[in-house]
């Protein structure tokens, strides 16, 4: 199972991520990536990763 990391999100996105391997999380451009959760929801792909449904 992928290792969970500190929450991060995109300035332009509506969700936050907890896995570095998340496809949409890793697609965030440098400079738009921010640490924390803000008031965002957890990314659906990250939920699936945590549930073991997908490797990344
Ligand atoms: Zn994600």
* Residue appearing with tokens 């496809």: 23
Which whole-number Å values give the CA distances from 17 to 2, 3, 51, 52, 53, in the listed order?
13, 12, 14, 15, 16
- Residue 43: enclosing H or E segment and its boundaries? none
Higher confidence at residue 55 or residue 25? 25
Give tens-digit pLDDT for 4-40.
999 999 999 999 999 999 999 999 999 999 999 999 9
What pLDDT, on the 0 to 100 scale, is given for residue 27? Answer: 96
CA of 22 to the centre of ligand 1 (A): 5
Considering its fold, how many domains does the chain have in total?
1
Taking the model in full, what pTM does it have? 0.90
Reported in sequence order, the residue ranges of the chain that DSSP labels E, i.e. its strands, are 4-10, 15-19, 33-35, 41-42
Domain span holding position 46:
4-51
CA of 39 to the centre of ligand 1 (A): 15
Any domain includes 41: yes
Any domain includes 56: no
């Amino acid at each position: 199972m992928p290792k969970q990391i500190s929450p991060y999100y995109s300035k332009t996105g509506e969700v936050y991520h907890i896995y570095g391997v998340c496809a949409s999380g890793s697609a965030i451009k440098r400079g738009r990536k921010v640490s924390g959760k803000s008031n965002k929801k957890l990314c659906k792909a990250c939920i699936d990763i945590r549930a073991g449904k997908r490797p990344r």
